[in-house]
């Protein structure tokens, strides 16, 4: 069984940060990291086959892009419900339920018989995938040493990049031989195995267990969240909406853009994999950046460099070595910056509503990501713009709006102790 995080010896002065993390704490991170990677894998597969789905069901490409919006559109509800449940019964069981939920939703996508049915199945997947990162980041924030929690959450978010790589590889290997439907059955067995391992070995959050002994009242956590912290919910929600909007023209439309200029499945797989590798390093590095520079300055640096990298990618895509390089940088900066978002949310909320708050705010924020592909495709058609211009332009707009919220309304939370928030 994964070791308890309590009762560890004090770290020796001057030792490296990773030696201050116990084996049990590393085990917790690895467990929730795997769930997040599978979540990304199941979700991102659809971004590779939007044009195939459009042709199969006789709809426009912009209409097919609504599948991304549909998935994101229900995440706020799933995040709030699962997060509130986790504040009541613990973090572990809701995480396992969500894992089973999004796996079933992903598999059903492969048997859809109409656009309406596939829309319903993507809604189902979105409801289940909603709480995964929120619950995982909450568990890390409540289990890891406070001075390293941003690093731990950043490493957790790197699981999304691994999922993106797996989706790209499976697309390149499976799609040319078996078509788009078979892609959505690949994750069933890995999810079942992972669920069994976590049920047996993942411990409950120690901070949540202690908070149950100090409950002020019996109100449902979701009600307390909105009653006691309305301005914080609004501010953090707007920040996440804008920042996720900035990241999703790249993530949601890069395969569509590459297909539109007649790139092969293998080339698309290479470029999207390069972006995903960049995400892995970016998610992990983001924690170190904001621990060193602070939450505000660190995020600003990552996002500005990310916007420039996206522009460079879509401008140089015909030159393959440069395209691969800028695909890596785009993933590293504009997507990798997301490794800090859950840290900021968790550092602003007390334990008795932290699961509800992270679950709702993070997932209401990703609605911005869901609407981004549709906004880009609809706008470039109305304004007679090329897709690469639309991708880079709306990335920049999202970055500027997000930074306005960060510097105008949020406090710096570097070094904040979660016990002080409580």
CATH number, residue 415: 1.20.1250.20
- C-alpha–C-alpha distance, residues 300 and 402, integer Å: 9
DSSP percent split of the chain into helix, strand, coil, nearest 5:
80, 0, 20
214: in domain? no
What's the average model confidence in pLDDT over 367-375? 84
382: in domain? yes
Tokens of 175: 């799609």
Q: Give the model's pLDDT for residue 418.
A: 61
Q: How many domains does the chain have?
A: 1
- C-alpha–C-alpha distance, residues 281 and 336, integer Å: 7
Instruction: Report pLDDT digits (tens) over 211-260.
Output: 665 555 556 667 788 888 888 889 999 999 999 999 989 888 888 888 88
Rounded to 5°, angle at Cα 56 from 55 and 59: 55
What's the average model confidence in pLDDT over 201-212? 75
Whether this prediction's pTM lies above 0.85 is answered by: no
| Numbers of helices and strands, H then E, in the chain | 20, 0
| Contacts of residue 356, Cβ cutoff 8 Å, sequence gap at least 6 | 80, 83, 84, 86, 87, 221, 222, 224, 225
406 to 18, 242, 302, 345, 400: CA distances (angstroms): 29, 10, 13, 12, 10
Tokens of 399: 């970055």
Question: What value does the mean pLDDT of the chain take?
Answer: 84
103: in domain? yes
Tokens of 391: 């991708």
15: in domain? no
Tokens of 268: 């698309």
39: in domain? yes
Q: Which residues constitute the domain of residue 144?
A: 21-208+220-421
Rounded to 5°, angle at Cα 47 from 162 and 320: 70
16: in domain? no
224: in domain? yes
Q: What percent of the chain clears pLDDT 90, i.e. is strictly above it? A: 23
Q: Give the model's pLDDT for residue 7.
A: 42
195: in domain? yes
Looking from the CA of 147 toward its CB, the CA atoms found within 13 Å total 7
Top pLDDT among 167 and 356 is at: 167
Overall residue count recorded for the chain in this entry: 422
């Amino acid at each position: 069984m994964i070791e308890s995080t309590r009762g560890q010896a004090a770290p020796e002065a001057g030792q490296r940060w990773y030696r201050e993390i116990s084996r049990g704490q590393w085990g917790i991170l690895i467990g929730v990291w795997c769930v997040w990677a599978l979540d990304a894998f199941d979700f991102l597969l659809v971004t590779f086959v939007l044009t195939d789905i459009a042709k199969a069901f006789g709809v426009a490409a912009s209409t097919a892009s609504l599948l991304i919006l549909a998935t994101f559109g229900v995440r706020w509800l799933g995040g709030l419900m699962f997060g509130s449940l986790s504040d009541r019964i613990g973090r572990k069981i809701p995480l396992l339920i969500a894992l089973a939920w999004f796996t079933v939703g992903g598999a059903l996508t492969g048997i859809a018989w109409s656009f309406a049915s596939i829309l319903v199945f993507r809604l189902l997947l979105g409801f289940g995938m909603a709480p995964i990162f929120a619950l995982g980041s909450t568990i890390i924030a409540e289990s890891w040493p406070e001075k390293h929690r941003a690093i731990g959450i950043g490493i957790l978010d790197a699981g999304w990049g691994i999922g993106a790589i797996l989706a790209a590889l499976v697309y390149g290997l499976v799609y040319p031989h078996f078509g788009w439907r078979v892609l959505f059955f690949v994750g069933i067995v890995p999810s079942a195995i992972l669920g069994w391992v976590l049920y047996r070995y993942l411990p409950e959050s120690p901070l949540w267990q202690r908070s149950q002994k100090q409950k002020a009242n019996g109100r449902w956590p979701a009600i307390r969240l909105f009653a006691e912290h309305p301005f914080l919910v609004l501010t953090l929600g707007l920040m996440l909406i804008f920042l996720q909007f900035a990241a999703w023209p790249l993530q949601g439309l890069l395969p569509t853009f590459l297909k539109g200029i007649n790139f092969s499945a293998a080339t698309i797989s290479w470029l999207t994999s390069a972006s995903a590798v960049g995400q892995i390093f970016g998610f992990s590095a983001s924690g170190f950046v904001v621990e060193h520079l602070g939450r505000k300055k660190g995020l600003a640096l990552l996002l500005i460099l990310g916007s420039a990298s996206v522009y460079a990618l879509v401008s140089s895509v015909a030159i393959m070595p440069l395209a691969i390089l800028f695909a890596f940088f785009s993933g590293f900066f504009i997507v990798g910056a997301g490794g800090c978002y859950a840290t900021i949310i968790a550092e602003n909320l007390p334990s008795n509503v932290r699961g509800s708050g992270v679950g709702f705010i993070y997932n209401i924020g990703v609605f911005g990501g869901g609407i981004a592909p549709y906004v880009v495709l609809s706008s470039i058609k109305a304004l007679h713009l090329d897709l690469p211009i639309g991708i880079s332009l709306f990335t920049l707009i999202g970055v500027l709006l997000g930074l306005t919220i960060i510097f105008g309304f949020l406090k710096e939370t570097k070094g904040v102790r979660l016990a002080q928030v409580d």
